[in-house]
Amino acid sequence: MKIVVTGTEGYLGALLAPTLLESGHSVLGIDTGYYKQGWLYNGITASVETLAKDIRHVTVEDLAGADAVVHMAELSNDPLGELIPDVTYVVNHKGSVRLAETAKAAGVSRFVYMSSCSVYGVAEDTVDETSAVNPQTAYAECKALVERDVAPLADDEFSPVFMRNATAYGASPRQRFDIVLNNLAGLAYTTGKIAMTSDGSPWRPLVHGLDIAKSIRAVLDAPREAIHNQIFNVGDSEQVYRVREIAEAVGRALPEAEITFGESNGDNRSYKVNFDKIHSTLEGFRCDWNADKGAQQLVDVFKAIDLDEATFKGKGHTRLKQLEHLIRTEQLDKELFWRVQPTSGIAATGTAK
Ligand SMILES: NC(=O)c1ccc[n+]([C@@H]2O[C@H](COP(=O)([O-])OP(=O)(O)OC[C@H]3O[C@@H](n4cnc5c(N)ncnc54)[C@H](O)[C@@H]3O)[C@@H](O)[C@H]2O)c1
* Amino acid letter for position 81: G
In a domain, 257, yes or no: no
Residue type, 261: F
Q: What is the DSSP letter of 129?
A: T
The CB of 35 under 6 Å from ligand 1? The reply is yes
Residue 46's H or E segment, with its range, is none
CB of 104 shorter than 6 A to ligand 1: no
Please report which confidence band the pLDDT of residue 349 belongs to, taking 50, 70 and 90 as the band edges: very low
Boundaries of domain holding 109: 2-173+205-239+272-289
| pLDDT at residue number 80 | 84
Nearest to 12 by CA among 125, 81, 113: 113
The values of phi and psi at residue 40, to 5°, are -85, -40
Q: Is the CB of 318 under 6 A from ligand 1?
A: no
Any ligand 1 atom below 6 A from CB of 170: no
pLDDT, position 352: 38
| Count of structural domains within the chain | 1
Q: From the CB of 165, is ligand 1 less than 6 Å away?
A: yes
In the prediction, which pLDDT does 263 show?
86
Which atom of ligand 1 is least distant from the CA of 319? 19
Q: What is the pLDDT averaged over residues 37-66?
A: 93
Question: Ligand 1 within 6 A of 12 CB?
Answer: yes
Query: For the ranges 38-47, 177-186, 305-314, which has the lowest average pLDDT?
Result: 38-47
Q: How confident is the model at residue 213 (pLDDT cuts 50, 70, 90)?
A: very high
Cα–Cα distance, 281 to 117 (Å, whole number):
18
Region 88-115: what's the mean pLDDT?
A: 98
pLDDT at 266: 65
Return the percentage of the chain with pLDDT > 70, whole number.
Answer: 96
Residue 100 has φ and ψ, to the nearest 5°, of -65, -40
* CA–CA–CA angle 164, 167, 172 (5° rounding): 110
| Alpha carbons 1 and 23: distance in angstroms, whole number | 10
Helix or strand or coil: residue 101?
A: helix
120 lines ligand 1 (CB under 6 A): no
What confidence score (pLDDT) does residue 346 get? 54
| Cβ-Cβ contacts under 8 Å for 12 (sequence gap 6 or more) | 72, 114, 168, 172, 209, 212, 213
Mean pLDDT of the region 250-276: 87
Residue nearest to atom 9 of ligand 1 (CA): 114
Mean pLDDT, rounded, for 165-187: 97
| 42/40 Cα distance (integer angstroms) | 7
In a domain, 264, yes or no: no
pLDDT value, residue 138: 94
Mutate to test the pocket of ligand 1, among 4, 53, 70, 76 (most ligand atoms within 8 A of CB): 76
| Closest ligand 1 atom, residue 71 Cα | 41
Question: Nearest Cα to 315, choosing from 20, 37, 48?
Answer: 37
65: domain CATH number?
A: 3.40.50.720
What's the rounded mean pLDDT across residues 42-48? 83
Structural domain contains residue 230: yes
**Spatial distance between the Cα atoms of 17 and 7, rounded to a whole number of angstroms:** 10
Q: How far, in Å, from the CA of 261 to the mean position of ligand 1?
A: 31
3-class secondary structure, 50: strand
**Cα gap 87→269, rounded to integer Å:** 26
Angle at 186 between CA 234 and CA 247, to 5 degrees: 65
Distance 84 CA to ligand 1 centre (A): 16
Which pLDDT belongs to residue 283? 85
Q: Is the CB of 13 under 6 A from ligand 1?
A: yes
Average confidence (pLDDT) over 105-132: 95
CA-CA-CA-CA torsion sign (285, 235, 73, 229):
positive
* Centre of ligand 1 from the C-alpha of residue 165, in Å: 12
Distance, CA of 238 to CA of 236 (rounded, Å) = 5
If pLDDT is split at 50, 70 and 90, which confidence band does 268 have?
A: low
Q: How far is the CA of 162 from the centre of ligand 1 (A)?
A: 15
Over residues 328-337, the mean pLDDT reads 96
Cα(302) to centroid(ligand 1), Å = 23
Distance (angstroms) between ligand 1 centre and the Cα of 9 equals 9
pLDDT of residue 27: 97
| CA 38 – ligand 1 centroid, Å | 13
Residue 262 lies in a domain: no
For residues 24-40, average pLDDT: 96
Reported confidence tier of residue 165, pLDDT bands at 50, 70, 90: very high
How far is the centre of ligand 1, averaged over its atoms, from the C-alpha of 10 (Å)?
6
For residue 65, how many other CB atoms are within 10 A of its CB?
15
Q: How many angstroms separate the alpha carbon of residue 51 from the centre of ligand 1? A: 16
Query: Does pLDDT of 343 surpass 80?
Result: no
Work out the average pLDDT over 216-240: 97
Give φ, ψ of 306 to 5 degrees: 55, 60
pLDDT recorded at residue 350: 34
Structural domain contains residue 133: yes
Given this model, what pLDDT does residue 347 score? 41
Say what the pLDDT of residue 267 is.
Answer: 58
Please indicate whether residue 319, judged by its CB atom, sits closer than 6 Å to ligand 1.
yes
Query: Would residue 182 count as lying in a domain?
Result: no
Residue 307 lies in a domain: no
- Alpha-carbon distance of 89 to 185, in angstroms, equals 32
